[in-house]
Structure 1
Amino acid sequence: MTAAARFRSVVLDCPDPRALARFYAGVVGGTPEDDDPEWVVLQVPGGPRLAFQRAPGYAPPEWPRADRNSQQFHLDFDAGTTWEEVEEAERKVLALGAKPLHAEDKEDFRVYADPAGHPFCLCRIGPV
């Protein structure tokens, strides 16, 4: 099938685009392009762009609720092949301001909220 368009960005609404872009730069690398305080772009090294736009009246999603203000989407990040690597990534995202939402050692992922409340996962890469 011929594509109609090419993927460009994932855009997150938030109250403070510069702050959230700095958070994700700490998670995945890159340098935020923040000439406009209403719209900040982060080019993820080796990945897609993340963009952050100011949303007046922003209300964070409620994880794992589906009845109102649901998460709508979340981001998954590969954090390593061992639980030690995942735990190191966890220490880093918590130091950046993430909040744990769900951390079961029996599962291959752990769920956090970024400083604006968007859920994201640190995933353990299993055998391929």
Structure 2
Amino acid sequence: MVTNEGATAGMGRLDEVVVDCADPVRLARFWAALVGGCPVDRESDWSYVDPPDGQPRLAFQLVPEGKQGRKNRLHLDIDVADIAQARAALVQLGAVAVGEVQQDDQGAFQVMLDPEGNEFCLVR
């Protein structure tokens, strides 16, 4: 059993997760379809979505360079009610499934790539 016993207050709080990308408008719409919320295009090079339920903002920032390699150093785990159903819907929106659903003692997960190749997992 994991507890927060002994946890201390940090210097700050997680405000948003920013993704460098080639098409902020497209990614904001993709991620809004996945996590909820309305996509907002603040500027031509900056879009974001505020998911419901107090989840951190996801922001998408235009950068000139392309993504290097497939593996992210950081990825998001998205809890879904049905991995197979979410996988099928996301593929229709431009995502790519990587391999098959994996099962372990903690549950199941499916590695996915968003339309620009950023890795994330559907978890249950």
> 2:9, 2:33 → 1: CA distance?
36
Distance 2:68 2:91 in 1: 18
* Aligned counterpart for 1:52 among listed residues 50, 60, 70: 60
Aligned-pair identity in percent equals 38
**Structure 2: gaps spanning 5 or more residues:** 1-7
> How many residues are aligned here?
113
Contact 1:39 1:52 in 2 (8 A): yes
Q: Aligned partners of 1:9, 1:36: CA distance in 2, in Å?
A: 17
Counterparts of 1:121 and 1:90, CA distance in 2: 10
Q: Of 45, 59, 71, which aligns to 1:38?
A: 45
- Shift in CA distance, 91/60, structure 1 to aligned 2, threshold 3 Å: farther
Indicate whether 1:92 and 2:93 are aligned: no
Q: In structure 2, what residue type is equivalent to 1:22?
A: R
Contact 2:97 2:113 in 1 (8 A): yes
CA apart distance, 1:60: 4.8
Contact 2:111 2:119 in 1 (8 A): yes
Deviations 1:89-120 (A, max 9, x none): 11111111100112235341000100011001
| Structure 1 unaligned blocks of 5 or more | 64-70
**Structure 2 residue 112 is the aligned partner of structure 1 residue 104:** no
- Aligned Cα root-mean-square deviation (Å): 1.4
Aligned partner of 1:67 in structure 2 is none
TM-score in terms of structure 2 length: 0.84
CA contact (8 A) 1:41 1:51 kept: yes
Contact 2:42 2:48 in 1 (8 A): no
Q: CA deviation at 1:36?
A: 0.4
Q: 1:32 Cα shift?
A: 1.1
Inter-CA distance 16–109: structure 2 relative to 1 (3 Å threshold): same
Quote the offset at 1:74 in angstroms: 0.7
TM-score w.r.t. the length of structure 1 is: 0.82
Q: Name the structure 2 match of 1:119.
A: 119
CA distance in 1 between counterparts of 2:9 and 2:51 reads 26
